[in-house]
Amino acid sequence: MGAHADDSSFPPVHFETHPDRYRHWRLEFPQEYGGAVARLVMDVRENEGLRPGYPLKLNSYDLGVDIELADALLRVRFEHPQVKALVFTSGKDRIFCSGANIYMLGSSTHGFKVNFCKFTNETRLYLEEMSAETGVPSLAALAGTASGGGYELAIACDEILLCEDGTSAVSLPEAPLLGVLPGTGGLTRLVDKRKIRRDVADVFSTVAEGVRGKRALEWALVDEAPGKKEFEAAVKRRLEAMVLRSKRRPMRAVKLEPLGAERRYVKVDLDEKARKATLTLRAPEGAEPQTPDQLAKAGSSAWAIRAWRELDDALLDLRFNHPGVSVLALQTSGDPERVLAVDAMLLAHEDDGLVREVTLLMKRVLKRLDNMAKSLFALVTPESCFAGSMLEVALAADRIYMLDDPDGKSALRLSRLSAGPLPMGNGLTRLQSRFLREPERVGRALEHEGALDTKAALAAGLVTFAPDDIDWDDEIRIAFEERASMSPDAMTGMEASLRYGGPETMETKIFGRLTAWQNWIFQRPNAVGPRGALTLYGRPERPEFDFNRT
């Protein structure tokens, strides 16, 4: 079961970083492209892993490496609007990236492995979103071998160049070498993104040593396999073409200031004994920018950026540092008019580059919320501010409790942000996902003018339960107690099924089908038992399998 019974012996994981402090990546803007290309150079420092005990050899990565990558992508979005294409390269000779560090995986708890994979999956999906939505496509320039998670990073890029130098290869050795899956989207992207023939994908995924240039090209695993002499020219040609076809909108740069120790808009109250945390998102408190120019000027202190960055940080903190929390109470506070004003600005200027980037940030944070392995109960009271973008937080919840207060002051307010700009991973809005049975309710809710009080919200299907003030305290208390008493595994599997009704996308296939199988395998003795393949990797003993097929 891995070396560590739990993760509490380690210091908490922090997700904030800055290019000046990167240890494993360099974010460069090569002069030859006049600033239009960001180069992400992976150059992992072996001895600076997040936790002790596993040298990060051969450009292998752990969570710390991926936190920097996620940060770099966010910086390019906000701080470097001139960038129109990304290129991934390696700072090491002959190796691009050898994937997630095996000793790190082998020594991690099941829960940490699962959370690590979820975060790396999100980062790669967000890289793809940068191409699809921001107009910044990416190129993997593999002048060395990309194996496992290294190739999974490459396959998350739009295009892959592999140097035909007689040694560089791409490979997914997880199944044959480690008895686990290429679970950071690898298998799904093979057949769903690159649409590689299933039998070819089968062969590729079982050949530990991988496939080199010419064959990799034949099998559509890469897009071009130039020789050593032609490699740099090919990289340049492809990047210049990407820059030319980029549809990135012009925008003013916004420097992402450190969030610092104090959160302004998000509060998390932990009640570890009750396995509960209360997360409160606050509305803006003062005047917020009314134009994109004002937004650029306000920069990362604008509510629309800061509050959502804080929310993202809080969610990641809850995932990694508070596994004992089973249920999140989702609350909001503040003046709904101020939120609706922000929404109105974002909607009025949706074609503006910065406004679009801010909306995409909200979208990604809400997806992070959808993907929490915690039960989510939203609580609506007269003090709440479930309006516009903040209402999406409630719509992401497994249940919504709304106080039926005698004065009718509890209220929900919709904005057009719920009509499309903030879709879930399945491509539907949260309203569409909610009303699969009665799709006409989506439009009706959106057309409603003004606030919906409890009775109206209940009638509109937006609320699960509406206890009055006599019952509220007891009902809420019992709901949380009951939920927190149930098998956390059953809750995770149940929520993963009920939250994603309707269509599936590559994204939901990665988190549903692929991740669920990987989690199963991460629990099986053939991988993580004392004689399992993951446990024994790098040791002289060979793994011993229970060969019964299941």
Q: Which of 128, 152, 495, 507 binds a second copy (CB under 8 A)?
A: 495
CA distance 446 to 417: 10
Interaction pattern, residues 245-284, with a second copy; x per rule: CB under 8 A? ------------------------------x---------
Interaction pattern, residues 378-397, with a second copy; x per rule: CB under 8 A? -------------------x
Q: Which of 43, 133, 202, 335 binds a second copy (CB under 8 A)?
A: 202
Is 461 a binding residue for a second copy by CB under 8 A? The answer is yes
Q: Which is nearer to a second copy, 150 or 529 (CB)?
A: 529
For 144-225, strand residue ranges (E) read 145-147, 159-162, 169-171, 211-212
Taking residue 229's Cβ as centre, other Cβ atoms within 10 Å add up to: 9
Q: Which of 179, 299, 421, 425 binds a second copy (CB under 8 A)?
A: 179
| Interface with a second copy in residues 22-81 (CB under 8 A) | none
CA distance 359 to 304: 8
Q: Which is nearer to a second copy, 28 or 317 (CB)?
A: 317
Residue with tokens 């596993």: 54
CA distance 231 to 216: 16
Kindly determine how many residues on this chain lie close enough to bind a second copy according to the rule CB under 8 A: 93
Q: Which is nearer to a second copy, 6 or 468 (CB)?
A: 6
Residue with tokens 């909306």: 359
Is 242 a binding residue for a second copy by CB under 8 A? The answer is no
Is 117 a binding residue for a second copy by CB under 8 A? The answer is no
Q: Which of 3, 132, 203, 459 binds a second copy (CB under 8 A)?
A: 203
Is 209 a binding residue for a second copy by CB under 8 A? The answer is no
Tokens, residue 497: 């099924």
Q: In terms of Cα–Cα distance, which of 454, 432, 450, 439 is closest to 501?
A: 432
Across 342-372, b (16+ Cβ under 10 Å) vs e yields bbebbbebeebbbbbbbbbbbbbbbbbbbbb
Is 122 a binding residue for a second copy by CB under 8 A? The answer is no
- Minimum distance between the CB of residue 198 and a second copy, rounded to whole angstroms? 5
185: exposed, middle or buried (Cβ count in 10 Å: 0-12, 13-18, 19+): buried
Q: Which is nearer to a second copy, 232 or 489 (CB)?
A: 489
DSSP track, 468-534: BTTTHHHHHHHHHHHHHHS-HHHHHHHHHHHTT-S---HHHHIIIIIHHHHHHHTTSHHHHSTT-HH
Q: Which of 243, 389, 434, 472 binds a second copy (CB under 8 A)?
A: 434
Q: Which of 206, 291, 294, 301 binds a second copy (CB under 8 A)?
A: 206
Is 503 a binding residue for a second copy by CB under 8 A? The answer is yes
Q: Which is nearer to a second copy, 224 or 352 (CB)?
A: 224
- Minimum distance between the CB of residue 377 and a second copy, rounded to whole angstroms? 9
Q: Which is nearer to a second copy, 45 or 110 (CB)?
A: 110
The total number of residues written for the chain in this structure: 550
Q: Which is nearer to a second copy, 29 or 517 (CB)?
A: 517
* Dihedral pair phi/psi, residue 480, rounded to 5°: -70, -40
Is 541 a binding residue for a second copy by CB under 8 A? The answer is no
**Can you give the three-state secondary structure of 418-473, one letter per residue?**
HHCCCCCCCCCCHHHHHCCCCCHHHHHHHHCCCCECHHHHHHCCCCCECCECCCHH
- Minimum distance between the CB of residue 488 and a second copy, rounded to whole angstroms? 5
CA distance 27 to 33: 14
Give CA angle at 355 (350, 361), nearest 5°: 115
| Interface with a second copy in residues 327-386 (CB under 8 A) | 373-374
| Interface with a second copy in residues 292-321 (CB under 8 A) | none
